[in-house]
Each structure stands twice: as structure tokens, then as C-alpha cells.
Structure 1
Amino acid sequence: MTSRKRALVTGGATGIGRSAVLALAKAGYDVAINYGSSAQAAQATAAEAHALGARTLVLQCDVSNEPAVRAMMQTIDEAWGGLDALVNNAGTTASWKVKDLESLDLDEWDRTFAVNVRGTFQVTRAAVPLLRKGDAPAVVNTASIVGLRPGPQPLPYAASKAAVVNLTKTLAWNLGPAIRVNAVAPGWMEGDWMERMLGEKYETLMGARAKATPLKRCVTADDVAEVILNLLTANRFVTGEIVVIDGGFTAST
């Protein structure tokens, strides 16, 4: 047996998920890394976590698929006998032309909600029996600043993150006092996601956002992972909260 705690990070191969996996590994957790399609990246992240002393499980699962989610939890339970932490980070978005409602594909809308909202619920529900075996168990969901205020992001993505905000609060009410549930809401984040969203305007727009931010830069995946870890390991009387991570931008605009 090991004294290390056990965590599951969905969407754990890249971006915020990868940073969360590594932060948890450094903090003494063994980490199950869920991925949808990024198998090579998931294995690379697992290798990095293993180098930090963590046991890892690498688990392919579409979080919108209920039987697959249940099977993933069974695998974790059989391997580790429970969970102490869950990070619901798996997410997707849709494509559209800004302010052109007709450019939205409703199949993409449905897929975005299936992963971002239904997936968050399904994974949490299936994890509850494992978390109840854990030590001071906690859940952190990845929301977004666009779930709290309007922006140029695709409507289904923004609406799904608003749903995650509500779901976080509702789950906190339903799962307390045994399990705490909080969420992080990153602002404009450096990296691949925003590069895809902003295209050739990435450098210009990110630079302008950093200049308008009190802390004079945009958020990184490591910034988000730091807050996720704190919500899991400390803040023991905090549940149902949404922590905005944007360097003070929304507080000053």
C-alpha cells in the first residue's frame, strides 16, 4: 500500500489537465489520467508524473459515454480502492463566426454540451462511491470566465460553461458535507486553445489583454493548476465556489 492520495483528472493529457496532473503528482498524489483522443500526449504526461513519484493510470474514455465512464471508475476502484480527488477538466468547443448565429452547427452544439455538461455530471456521479472511500474528498470543475460574462467565444461553449457554474453549486449542495465541489474559471489563457480561437490575431489580442490586466499578463495552465490543487488540499470550509483566475481583469473592467 502507499500513503499517496489518489486523483482522477479528465482531459488530463494536455493544457490545464496536464498541469493539474503534474501539480498533483508533485503534491503526493497518484493520478489517473483520462483522455479522449490524445493518446500520445497522455502517455507523455503519465511519464512526467511517474518521474515525480506518482503511480499513474492512463484511461481512454469519452466522458459523454455513460457506460464508458462507469467502466473507467471500475478500473480505478479495482486498482486503487477509491479516490480522494476529482478534476473534471475534459472539454470541447464548437466553431462559429462571431455574431453570426446561423454559422453554428447544432450537432456541434449538442456535442459541446454532451462533453462539457453531461460529461462533468456523469463523471462526478460515477466517482461518488470512490470519493466516499477517500480522505477529505473534493471535486474541482473547469468552468471559464465566459460562463460568467459574455465574450466572443462560441455560444455553446459559453453556455455550457455557465451550466458548469450552476452544476458546481448544485453538486456542492447535494454532496455536502462529505464531498466538497468547487470550480475554477480561467480568463484568457496562454497556449494552444486561445491560439485556435484567435488565429492570426493571437499575439496582438493577448498582448492587449495582458496590458489591461492588473497583473500584466494572461493566465497560464500552471496558474490554473495551482488553484485547483489549493481547492483540493486546503480551503476545507469552501464549497460551491467559482474561483476566477484572470489576474484581476474582470475585477477592474
Structure 2
Amino acid sequence: MTAFQTHSEEFSLTEATVPNGRTALVTGSAGGIGRAVALRLAAAGYDVTINYSRSKERAEATLKELRQHPGRHQAVQGDVSDDAAVRELARVAAGASGTLDILVNNAGTTSETPPDDLDGIDLADWDRVFQVNVRGLVQVTRACAPALRAAGGSVVNVASIVGLRPGPQPLAYAASKAAVVSLTKTLSRVLAPRVRVNAVAPGWIAGEWMERTLGDNYDRLMERRARMTPLSRNVTLEDVAESVYALAVSHSFVTGEVLVIDGGYTATT
């Protein structure tokens, strides 16, 4: 059954709700990287559509933050692995103009299986990770392609350094992010020359995602990671958001690239 709901109640065209004319869609943006990216785009003058699957309260809180910036912002509920919901999401995000300037494929999930537990892999979990992280990315990009082409837009996918090299993440998650890296390169050719497609590959981001991954070892391992990083700290959500924005907006002759955001850790260890 298709799950779809939009939070775009009727309102007058006040300064805070007049459309800016530039549109962006960020999937999986109730919190974390998606929220940070959405806020960065809103601050830059984009009308931002955020998307969430289950985190309604967090999405509404993020939407409230977005509406502190001028523009018409909205939150749309929908599972990116559901193609019908995705097509409706793309339609709503493009709006009356039928164009989309920026798509950020951020929606993602992971498995609870420990990274080295090959025998313990739950194949249902494996399938769900790939449905969201890989199939979801393809479905969203495909649905948004006409609007992106009409705008001469840009796609930024959120990968991970574990898609480039081994790390302390479940096998399903790491493999799905390797697929994101591959799809970024392939889609940059498929959507050329009108649409650029790039990806970011963050390192260990300080906050709740790594807290869940590292558990009781979070503080110790994050401190060690920062010591081993040339720039002497771990990645922040704001670091990732700024890099996504730069790839989407500033680098007009860059496509098919994966930008590693880890302060030089991967390059030097």
C-alpha cells in the first residue's frame, strides 16, 4: 500500500512562503544529514521539499526550522522503496513549474548485524537495506529525471567511505553504499549533458548514527579517530551539508565524482 502524505497547509503568500523559484528535494531529511542539507539549501534561497518515512515529529520540527527562511517549504511522507509514492513525491517537489534544480538522495537505512558476522546476516534485513539505499535511489532519480532535465539540475547522492573501503559497518550497509558509488558514476553518463550527478562519502560523523554503530565504545573510538585525522577532528553534519551544497551549485563542470569528507583520514591511513 502506497504511503503518501504532504504537510503543506493552506497559507497566504507572506514573505516566508512566497516561492523563491529554485527547487530542491532532499530524501530522508527528518534529521541527520538530510536535515542539515535541507537547512543549508533553504538558507541559500531554495524552496525545499523534505521527505521522511516514519519520523513524522522530527520532520515537522525540521519543517518548522525551514520556514524560518523565506520560500515555500514542505514535508512529504513516503517510503523511497515504494515507486508509486516516489512518483508522487517527485511531482509535489517539482511543483507547478515542473522543474527541480537539486535532488539529494540521502534516504538510507542499515542492519543491526555486526560487521564481521557473516553467518548472522538476516536476508530480510539485507533486502530492506538494498530496497531503501539502492532501489530507492534509482526510483527517486528516475522519477525526478524529467524535472531535473528541464531545470538543468544536479543530483548529489549520499554514499559513505565504507562504500570505498572496509569499515565498522554491517555488510549490507557497506555493500549498498558501494552500489551508490557505482550508480553515481553510471547515472552521470545516463543523465548527461543536462544533469550532473555526484556523491559525497562522509567519514565518521559525530552524533547519533555513529553512537548506534559504535555503542559503548563511541567516545573512545571517536577520540582516537580524531587523533588519526590530519585535520584533528571528526566530520560534522554541517561539513557534509556544505560539501553537498558546493557539489550541487558551485562545480558546474564536475560530474561522476565522489567527494570524500573525512578530514584526510582515508588519504593518509
Q: TM-score, normalised by structure 1?
A: 0.97
Question: What amino acid maps onto 2:32 in structure 1?
Answer: G
CA–CA separation in structure 2 for the residues paired with 1:202 and 1:78? 42
CA–CA separation in structure 2 for the residues paired with 1:126 and 1:96? 32
CA–CA separation in structure 2 for the residues paired with 1:58 and 1:210? 35
Q: Is the CA contact (8 Å cut-off) linking 1:95 and 1:104 kept in structure 2?
A: no
- Superposed CA deviations along residues 115-161 of structure 1, whole A, max 9, x for unmatched, are 00000000000001111222x30000000000000112100100000
Q: 1:215 aligns with which of 216, 231, 236?
A: 231
CA–CA separation in structure 2 for the residues paired with 1:15 and 1:3? 25
Q: Is the CA contact (8 Å cut-off) linking 2:19 and 2:71 kept in structure 1?
A: no
1:58 aligns with 2:78: no
CA–CA separation in structure 1 for the residues paired with 2:225 and 2:71? 36
Q: Is the CA contact (8 Å cut-off) linking 2:204 and 2:262 kept in structure 1?
A: yes
1:75 aligns with 2:92: yes
Q: Compute the displacement of 1:103 (Å).
A: 1.5
| Aligned-partner SS, 1:8 | strand
Q: 2:127 aligns with which of 110, 123, 126?
A: 110
Question: What amino acid maps onto 1:105 in structure 2?
Answer: D
Question: What amino acid maps onto 1:244 in structure 2?
Answer: V
Question: What amino acid maps onto 2:210 in structure 1?
Answer: M
Q: Compute the displacement of 1:240 (Å).
A: 0.2
CA–CA separation in structure 1 for the residues paired with 2:103 and 2:131? 19
Aligned residues: 252
RMSD (CA atoms)? 1.1
Provide the residue aligned with 1:139 in structure 2: 155
1:182 aligns with 2:205: no
1:87 aligns with 2:104: yes
Question: What amino acid maps onto 1:95 in structure 2?
Answer: E
| Aligned-partner SS, 1:37 | coil
1:224 aligns with 2:240: yes
Q: Compute the displacement of 1:80 (Å).
A: 4.9
Listed as ranges, the gaps of 5+ residues in structure 1 are none
| Aligned-partner SS, 1:51 | coil
Question: What amino acid maps onto 1:204 in structure 2?
Answer: R
Question: What amino acid maps onto 2:242 in structure 1?
Answer: E
Q: Compute the displacement of 1:3 (Å).
A: 4.0
CA–CA separation in structure 2 for the residues paired with 1:40 and 1:247? 33
Listed as ranges, the gaps of 5+ residues in structure 2 are 1-17
Provide the residue aligned with 1:156 in structure 2: 172
Q: Compute the displacement of 1:17 (Å).
A: 0.2
Q: 2:261 aligns with which of 233, 236, 245?
A: 245
| Aligned-partner SS, 1:34 | strand
Q: TM-score, normalised by structure 2?
A: 0.91
CA–CA separation in structure 1 for the residues paired with 2:208 and 2:97? 33
Question: What amino acid maps onto 1:99 in structure 2?
Answer: D
CA–CA separation in structure 2 for the residues paired with 1:98 and 1:184? 22
Provide the residue aligned with 1:126 in structure 2: 143
Shift in CA distance, 28/78, structure 1 to aligned 2, threshold 3 Å: closer
